[in-house]
Amino acid sequence: MEHERILTERLREAGYVARTVERAVGGAVAVAGLVTLEDGTQLFAKTLLDLHPDHAVDVFDVESAGLTALRDIGGAHTPEVLLATQRLLVLEKMEPRRDDAAFWERLAHTVAALHATTGDRFGWHRDGWLGRLRQDNTWEQDGHVFFAERRVLRWLAEPLVDAAFDREEREASSGSAPPSRSSSRRSRRA
C-alpha cells in the first residue's frame, strides 16, 4: 500500500485527485498503476520511488518523446501523454486488445511499418533508458554496428548479464574463442 500512497501523492501534487490506484505489476523501475480519478476518469500513471540524480532529469520525458515518435513516425497506437515530469508520467488508459488472429496480424503490420522507416543514420537525438540503465543512442551510419554496439555488446559488462555467462560464453562474446555447440544451444533456450 505504500507504493500506491506515493503514486497517489504525486498525482495530487500534479493536480490529479485519485479515488483509487490499482497497482500494475511487472515493472522493474517505476511504481505504476491504473488510476481512477474522483470524476470516474481512468488513466495510467507511474513514478520513480528513488529519484537517482541520473534518472531525475529526463526518464519520463524521454519515454514521452519515444511514445510520440512511435506514433508519429511508425503509426503505432501509443497512449496519449497527459503529463510528463521528473517525478510522474500520466498516460491515457488504453484498453486491452483481443487476443485473436486479427490483432496479431495488425500488430505484425505495425511492427513492419516501424521497421520500414528509414533514414541515413541509426540512433536518436537523445539517449533513452532500459530500466535504470542509460541506453546509448549516439548516431551511427551503419545499422549493424549500431545494433551490435548499442543494443547487444553494451550490456555484456552489466553485472546481471555477466553473471549469467559462464567462462566460455564470456570468452566467445569478447571474440577470443568460439562458443561450443552445447553453450550455443543453452543460450538459445534461455
Residue 142 confidence (pLDDT): 94
119-132 residue pLDDT tens: 899 999 999 988 77
Cell of 55: 534518472
**Average pLDDT value for the chain:** 85
Say how far apart CA 130 and CA 66 lie, in whole Å. Answer: 12
- CATH of 2-92 among 3.30.559.10, 3.30.200.20, 3.30.70.60, 3.20.20.70: 3.30.200.20
Q: Is residue 175 within 8 Å of residue 155, measured between CB atoms?
A: no
Q: What is the pTM of this model?
A: 0.79
Residue 55 confidence (pLDDT): 56
52-107 residue pLDDT tens: 665 557 889 999 999 999 998 878 899 999 999 988 999 999 988 889 999 999 99
**Ramachandran assignment for 40, one of left (phi > 0), alpha (psi -120 to 50 degrees), beta (any other):** left
Say how far apart CA 56 and CA 87 lie, in whole Å. Answer: 7
Q: Where are the beta strands (DSSP E) in the chain?
A: 18-24, 30-37, 42-48, 81-84, 88-92, 128-130, 133-135
Domain boundaries, given as residue ranges, for the chain: 2-92, 101-181
Average pLDDT over residues 160-164: 85
Whether 162 has a pLDDT exceeding 50, the answer reads: yes
Say how far apart CA 136 and CA 52 lie, in whole Å. Answer: 18
Residue 159 confidence (pLDDT): 86
Residue 26 confidence (pLDDT): 80
